[in-house]
Structure 1
Amino acid sequence: MPLHKTLEQPIPPRPATVTAAGAHAAAFTESHDVVAVPLRHPWRWVLAAVLVLAFAWLATSLWNNPNVDHATIREFMFSPQIIRGAGLTILLTIISMVLSTILGIVLALMRLSDNPVLNAMAWIYVWVFRGTPLLVQIVFWGYLGLLYKQISLGIPFTDFHIFAVDTNTLIPAFVAGLIALTTNEAAYSAEIVRAGMMSVDPGQKEAAYSLGMTPLFTLIKVELPQAMRVIIPPMGNETISMLKNTALLSLIAVLEMYTVAEHISAQNLRQVELLVVVSCWYLALTSILSIPQYYLERHYGRGSRTLGPTPIGRVVSLFHRVMSTR
């Protein structure tokens, strides 16, 4: 028989016994499917309820405490003095973080340099400023006039001076606090930036050089954007820590928020109430700072993980679901 005719022959139907057996097996499998029941965790809910009750009890106890004057809290929560102190706190935080980040990048590049002198100098800087308390550094810069009466510019190892300025005039309390916060934070920023730079594949730099890019252009356009995924989370935490560390400047009489609250409480003897006021302000400011950190992490983490909806997106989605059910 010709081959083409053989191929054109219709395929015979399956026997009825096979079809019936297949249907019986499918029905048996369908009727005996394993139903997955999620494991219950009742004690988790019990623990959650206990924690909620404990928190509610503590909050109620604090709020109804007869030793807390709520009128004082309401009076000074938005007083002009506290608001000016909060503004100075924000200003100190922004300037210190910008300057310390720039200095930290320079120190990180020095740590990664093949030059042993630059590497050693950067290591010593990080070792000194990370190894001594910030409190000590603030006091040192605040009382620098006790060590150097004047700061002069001239030829080293001679008595020739171009000009000389009184130290306390050149470095008042605000500048001393700013220097202390910046130099201390730069040591931590340097290590954060260095860790981010080391997380970038060395082949990225080699590929950029092979395309004719300069080292500076490679750093700005290739290495730092990829390192930001590692840098942003700890730098966000450092920014929040910087905001709170400004309270230590009360030692050198910088009129930031905590210092202002101390001065007010020294007059009306309402220390606890003023502490509640500044605590609320610190919580509000740190919450605001957490918002750009969240979106920066999402922006630089786009290629490394699947991004879920933002909190605003969840609210909008919930709103649409509620409206659609009506």
Structure 2
Amino acid sequence: MSVASDFVSGVSAPAAAPAGAGTETAHFRIVPARYPARIFGTVFSVIIIAAVLNSIVGNPRWGWPVFAEWFVSEPVLTGLGRTILLTALGAFFGFALGGVLALARVSRSPLLVALSWTYIWIFRSIPLIVLLLILNNLGYLYEKIWLGIPYTDITFFSYSTTQLISPFTAAVLGLTLNQGAFAAEIIRGGILSVDQGQHEAAAALGLPKGRQTFRIILPQAMRSILPGAFNDIIGLAKGTSNVYILALPELFYTVQVIFHRNLEVIPLLMVATIWYLIILTVLSAIQAQIERHFARGALRTPPKSLLSRLWSRTPPPSGVVAGSDRPGAATANAGQVATWSGGDRRGAAVSIHGVSKSYGQLKVLDDVTLDIAAGSVTVILGQSGSGKSTLLRTINHLERVDEGFISIDGHFIGYRRNGATLYELKERDVLASRVDVGMVFQSFNLFPHLTVLQNLIEAPLSHGVAKAEAVSLARDLLARIGLSDKAAAYPRQLSGGQQQRIAIARALALKPKVLLFDEPTSALDPELVGEVLDVIRELARSGTTLIVVTHEIGFAREVADRVVFMEAGRIVEVGPPDKIFGHADQARVREFLAKVL
């Protein structure tokens, strides 16, 4: 039997065709696999759908002629417009109020937290109908609404409560107060979903609190907020039917008035139902587009929007160059790479004086004192849990010390000196002082919703650098690390080594005097470690003061001016690489190195 007939008849064919047999197999017919269960399921579904449609469309008791008469009638459209307006106002003011309440819930003020929690507790407990009735009858409790100075006769504004709060005003106010309580928890959940590293990266760049919230945290939180938020808005659109209690002619109330007159209950209820379906379908479509917008950077290849699928014929630019994860990919743009040598940077001296830090009963740093010369490269070694990373984080005040202090070029981090007294700085002043101290995290902590270029210019823009200058500097930095072609890519579209090099460039965008590296290669595959270490080697010749926590012993031996070994929160030994790696004084250091060398 021939090979062709084997395929046609369904008999197994040889595993591979002979070389040069392409022309002989051109006539093969591919028979797709058949799935009887899928066919049965499809047929069953069609039957059910047809039966339901027939029972609805073919049943005269549904009153479709009456439905057609009233569906686009003037009273119904007027009520529909009021429903849409109430939904829009309730959603806008409710989520604005919810945003304030959510920020209060996650603030450091116990009073604000308690006030927000109490509001949410009360207004989530009160049924909406009860709240609407209370507001509509507020004039019974308070004859006038006034604004003035309490316990004095000074009044700035006074007005009759009954005249001020109309049924429509009561409806908007009630929907807002009710919506705000639920929206607050939705927004708070989104804020809590953002990785703590994003907060720390924004703080390390010295971004003001407001910019951290609205540029970094909330845009990322939106991916978690949006599904719940739109679910709530859809509930609000249907919940506007509760305002019928105020005799306010929105859609549902209008339909009730009509069917009480003509007794055509079912057709009029279907009028309201179909309009609600249309409203919710539109809201769902809007939700999909907004979710797509805030998903930027979350996927390597984001899905196209509906409009782009219909009209766009240009393929989207890819953020990943084929082979970018291969060893040696860092040199792909070698012709563009500049160096940092040439004295364009000046390091700063770092002095650590008697620093201690505890987490509860666990003492992580114990009376640490260390002086680091300007422009030097200091590598900190030690086993996990020895306090290396915590010491690094105290230098830029990401961790507040319990005792002692740290100064950079004589300026105390986190404090203002007045004679022999140190006054702790407010958070905004600490953020401003971090301009001189850059930090590179072991898990990169790039902002995933921003492009590479946006990651690099975010901090300079927040510190008053003109956009054109910030963009120019960012592109120069990208050229220096060999990633000029990645400016428009999102972090998720890059390899680990590329992301870490971008993180280094982001830290350098503020032209810091001191650069901190917290195990910059620990999250990378061994093949990608070299990409990052090459950049740090180049930086070591630039004049910037580098402090590196790492387990890369070979790198430390090659680049470091001094090596610091830590154990149990204390500095055990400090010395040049030759001494530490060749003949350390302390037995614990020799024991550690014997295991890792």
Per the TM superposition, whether the score is higher than 0.5 is: yes
- How many angstroms apart in 1 are the aligned matches of 2:33 and 2:125? 49
Question: Residue 151 of structure 1: SS of its match in structure 2?
Answer: strand
1:190 positional shift: 0.8
1:263 equivalent to 2:263? Answer: no
Deviations 1:71-109 (A, max 9, x none): 211111111111111111111111111111111111011
Q: Aligned pair in 2 of structure 1 residues 48, 310: CA closer, same or farther (>3 Å)?
A: farther
1:309 positional shift: 4.3
Q: Which amino acid aligns with 2:90?
A: S
Match of residue 56, structure 2, among 62, 68, 75:
62
1:134 positional shift: 1.9
Q: Which residue of 1 aligns with 2:81?
A: 87
- How many angstroms apart in 2 are the aligned matches of 1:64 and 1:137? 43
Q: Which residue of 2 aligns with 1:30?
A: 16
Q: Which residue of 2 aligns with 1:168?
A: 162
Q: Which residue of 2 aligns with 1:298?
A: 292
Counting only pairs closer than 5 Å after superposition, residues 243-322 of structure 1 correspond to structure 2 as: 243-305=237-299, 306-311=301-306
Deviations 1:103-134 (A, max 9, x none): 11110111001111110111111111222322
Counting only pairs closer than 5 Å after superposition, residues 1-326 of structure 1 correspond to structure 2 as: 30=16, 42-157=36-151, 164-305=158-299, 306-311=301-306
Question: Residue 61 of structure 2: SS of its match in structure 1?
Answer: coil
Q: Which residue of 1 aligns with 2:487?
A: none
Uncovered stretches (5+) of structure 2, i.e. residues with no partner: 1-12, 18-30, 313-597
1:205 positional shift: 2.5
Question: Residue 129 of structure 2: SS of its match in structure 1?
Answer: helix
- How many angstroms apart in 2 are the aligned matches of 1:235 and 1:45? 38
- How many angstroms apart in 2 are the aligned matches of 1:281 and 1:28? 61
Deviations 1:227-280 (A, max 9, x none): 111111211212211111111111111121111111111211112111111111
1:160 positional shift: 7.0
Q: Aligned pair in 2 of structure 1 residues 39, 179: CA closer, same or farther (>3 Å)?
A: farther
Question: Residue 297 of structure 2: SS of its match in structure 1?
Answer: coil
1:202 positional shift: 2.4
Q: Aligned pair in 2 of structure 1 residues 30, 260: CA closer, same or farther (>3 Å)?
A: same
8 A contact 2:146–2:155 mirrored in 1: yes
Question: Residue 30 of structure 1: SS of its match in structure 2?
Answer: coil
TM-score by length of 1: 0.79
| Greater shift in the superposed pair: 123-132 or 205-214 | 205-214
Q: Which residue of 1 aligns with 2:344?
A: none
| Greater shift in the superposed pair: 54-63 or 249-258 | 54-63
8 A contact 2:292–2:305 mirrored in 1: no
| Greater shift in the superposed pair: 103-112 or 257-266 | 257-266
- How many angstroms apart in 2 are the aligned matches of 1:99 and 1:308? 31
1:163 positional shift: 5.2
Question: Residue 266 of structure 2: SS of its match in structure 1?
Answer: helix
- How many angstroms apart in 2 are the aligned matches of 1:220 and 1:184? 25
1:177 positional shift: 0.7
1:201 positional shift: 2.1
1:164 positional shift: 4.1
8 A contact 2:183–2:229 mirrored in 1: yes
1:48 positional shift: 4.3
- How many angstroms apart in 1 are the aligned matches of 2:15 and 2:60? 70
- How many angstroms apart in 1 are the aligned matches of 2:145 and 2:35? 68
Question: Residue 122 of structure 1: SS of its match in structure 2?
Answer: helix
- How many angstroms apart in 1 are the aligned matches of 2:108 and 2:156? 37
| Greater shift in the superposed pair: 194-203 or 153-162 | 153-162
| Greater shift in the superposed pair: 130-139 or 161-170 | 161-170
Q: Aligned pair in 2 of structure 1 residues 310, 58: CA closer, same or farther (>3 Å)?
A: same
More strand, by proportion: 2
1:40 positional shift: 6.3
- How many angstroms apart in 1 are the aligned matches of 2:72 and 2:89? 24
Q: Which amino acid aligns with 1:248?
A: N
Deviations 1:263-303 (A, max 9, x none): 11121111211111111111111111111210111121132
- How many angstroms apart in 2 are the aligned matches of 1:229 and 1:74? 40
Question: Residue 296 of structure 2: SS of its match in structure 1?
Answer: coil
- How many angstroms apart in 2 are the aligned matches of 1:88 and 1:304? 38
CA RMSD of aligned residues (A): 2.9
Q: Aligned pair in 2 of structure 1 residues 28, 55: CA closer, same or farther (>3 Å)?
A: closer
TM-score by length of 2: 0.45
1:45 positional shift: 4.1
Identity of aligned residues (%): 38
Uncovered stretches (5+) of structure 1, i.e. residues with no partner: 1-26, 32-36, 318-326
- How many angstroms apart in 1 are the aligned matches of 2:129 and 2:49? 33
- How many angstroms apart in 1 are the aligned matches of 2:175 and 2:34? 50
Question: Residue 152 of structure 1: SS of its match in structure 2?
Answer: strand
Question: How many residues in Structure 1 have an aligned counterpart in Structure 2?
Answer: 289
